[in-house]
Chain A
Amino acid sequence: MVTTPLLPSDYLDLVSPLRAGADLRGRIEAVHPETGDAATVVIKPGRGWRGHTAGQYVRIGVDVDGRRLWRAYSLTSPTDRRDGRITITVKAIPDGKVSNHLVRRAAPGTLVHLDQPTGDFVLPQAKPAKVLYLTAGSGITPVMGMLRDTGFDDVVMVHCAPQPQDVIFRDELHRLAADRKLRLTEVHTATDGRLDIARLGELVPDWAERETWACGPAGLLDAAEEHWTEHGLRVRLHTERFRPRTVVTGGDGGEVTFSATGTTVDADGATPLLDVGEEAGVLMPSGCRIGICFGCVTPLKAGAVRDLRTGEITEAEPGVLIQTCVSAAAGPCDIER
């Protein structure tokens, strides 16, 4: 009543954006280069941060060229870091707006927006006797969070990167190896060629006995899932994908209505509704943009949408929520935004 039409928090945000009770934010404190195109961002999270489990990711909203963009990044800091800071390690991908901004332009002091950490690519309560980490490229990031957090008696890591200088955390990995906390095999794909999963046994003879966490490009993960399944060991393999597996490339689109804002646009059958809405200026919630975090779910009021990963059609019914980042119009539809 005192501050209407604003809320007291609108004023408190001016002086204390990280206080308890505020929308969850963080302040970038430092950006440390890791390789030529990767960097670790140290963030002081707001008081509302509930802490993470090793291997989880966080959705982070960053203003790039004045525009708020949300992405998901794996947490690379241990869960018990003394100063309470968290880190994410970001690899700049070609045309990646957020990744390039974080790696090359983000300045200490900048406020970012956070969600609570989430993800089920985590270690089990009961310690497995033998562990294998199978990673490629920036797929090393959630595993680094695990390595820094929890020690095991017998850990093997197979990591793929084009060249030695592309290996993120290389010095730290080698130190861990020197301390016998880890047996490390680097596969340099630029010279050695891609890792052939069928020949994993040559690198890790006892791979089948190991509880395995794998993270990397879709090609590696698809091959790994197939390999473990063939040997009847699928339950031992845990994977984390950074990109959706899209199978649907086309199909009929339709007229999309965002009824809460009264916006109507034509959309094709291949563009995620999240992109369609953002392009039309609708305030769309978003997150990982790859169909895993459910930060973008929105009611589908009418019509039908197609899941770009599976091709499955979802029709409107009361209470039906869709993930706009992996759904495209399948004919006219009405999204409640």
Chain B
Amino acid sequence: MNTIDNILDNYFEGTTLPEEESRLKEYFRGNAVLPRHEIYKPLFAAFDKEKQIAAPVFEIPAEKNRKKPFPIRKSWIAAASIAAVTLLLVTLVPFKNKTGTPSGDYTVFIHGKAITNPKKARQYADKMFMQADEIIRTSYEPVVEANAIQTEMDPGRIFDDLSREINHMQSINQ
């Protein structure tokens, strides 16, 4: 019994080492296979043949643009809303100064900064109003977004709140 017979027996027992299996495969791929081993030649040929089977092509899908249009519009709505609210506050509310004591002077807070000149405050308010108007007007879907702002802001409620605050401030000043 030569070495190939031994390796072959061990192979079918599942006890061959990787290098012995490589040798066995090389032997059966060659042209010097002994007649008594011919019966096993198709087995090793089948393994080689199966290894030729290739996968079908998988087309990698195009990477989608992760920026969704809806949140962008939402951010414009938010920006416009903030601008509009700031405008209303700046225009309508004569705030108290930082010490909380009533003051005879005209004082408004814009971005945390006290402005006492009514003309400058008005100019700033007008500028803000123009910007807010421009944002709403040039938005992708102006009418839809303006309606959305209207719905989200509930202008009636905001106006009532502001009126109450103005009346309260006036009563303190008097």
Genuine A/B complex: no
Interface residues of B (CB under 8 A from A): none
Interface residues of A (CB under 8 A from B): none
